[in-house]
Amino acid sequence: MTATSIFYIIIGILVFDFLLERILGFLNYTWYSKAIPEELADVYDQAAYEKSQEYKKTNFRFGLISSTFSFLGILLFLYFKGFAIVDEIARNYASNQILVALLFFGIIMLASELISLPFSIHSTFVIEEKFGFNTTTVKTFILDKIKGYLLTALLGGGMLSLIILCYDWAGVNFWWYVWILIFVISLFMNMFYAKLFVPLFNKQVPLEEGDLKNKISDYAASVGFQLDKVFVIDGSKRSTKANAYFSGFGSEKRVTLYDTLIEQLTEEEIVAVLAHEVGHYKRKHIIYNLIAGTLTTGFTLWLFSLFVDSSLLSEALGVNLSSFHIGLVAFGLLYSPISTLTGMVMSLLSRRFEYQADYYAKDTYKKEPLISGLKTLSKTSLSNLTPHPAYVWFHYSHPSLQQRITAMNSDVVY
């Protein structure tokens, strides 16, 4: 196989991915106006339903424009040997392999951010604002971007440096050491993300004493779940959309409730949502996800180690001098079909976990407040109640609302 062949394979993969996403998006679009299932008839009134239709269609059109722009951009970048140009610029300012790689990815990410920034601004301050979701101020938006850049530079740059050091030290066997390193970091992030990183962007305060906390404590005690850490996060700082999540394990396990969730749901509905989150912990979903992610990462690193020394990968991107960072970019582009498949498997696993967590909440608390709570969350976020099955299969980490309600109303044990 020649470098030219690999180049055209990369182009073919990019075209296939783009067309697949457009087809899935169009199929989903054709179902926007599908009749609402009977069990969901009480989610929207006519005005809210029409608003949800317009919201979905607006995002579809915007996504089509932004994704087409990105697709054409990467094609032009490849055609004009953009990676070779950036690599040459990086080598003009550094000779150390790690510094060259850091400069290379720094330039790529800076250019990518400059291109995507107008789309991000439009999405936040035009679309989300139009439909009443946006509460982000310009100051918050700018600070979020700056903090994100700094974290990417420190954590991403540090991680890349360690990976290249492992490669320089161990050669093609580097993947073992990087795999262990990533596992340790993943474990650390699962344990301490909410404690160390969330406060950089949001305020977290313990749930105040009162009826809601008492009901949560009573439920936790009834299922033998020690829950000392229930936090409220100021999600309303950026959006009116609500959420709740479980993080950590052992002594660091905690439940985080968005303040918007507390505003939009009744206390019974909030306890039901929390019961769902406890279900994730009781069914060991966090651990299973960690294991699945670790195995996927190991497979990816092993596969990369087979090609990392190939000069053909660098030449396929128009770079004559082979290097770790160019090989990483080429491999990432070639790996896309496998990534799509593994992503589908992980989404399938995630949807299974959601059914199990719903069943746990139904079994240990009540299904009615969970169902009504999910309906309220769908209404307030203008969710799509009739997604196309193919789109769900490829993209949804959660079953559709109809699927979840049908499962909870059935006698099936998950």
Supply the residues annotated as catalytic.
277, 358
Paired with 257 in beta bridges are 232, 244
Residues pairing with 328 in the sheet? none
Token digits for 158? 């540090």
Structure tokens at 404: 């979840």
12 three-class SS: helix
Strands across the sheet containing 204-206: 204-206, 230-233, 254-258, 244-247
Q: Of 194, 117, 181, nearest to 149 (Cα)?
A: 117
DSSP 24-39: HHHHHHHTTTSPPPGG
d(CA 15, CA 26): 16
- DSSP assignment of 213-225 equals HHHHHHHHHHTT-
Q: Report yes or no: 395 and 63 within 8 Å, Cβ to Cβ.
A: no
Max intra-chain CA distance, the chain: 69
3-state helix, strand, coil in the chain (%, to 5): 75, 5, 20
CB atoms near residue 367 (< 10 Å): 17
What are the start-end ranges of the E strands in 49-106? none
Q: Using alpha carbons only, give the angle 170, 172, 178 rounded to the nearest 5 degrees.
A: 65
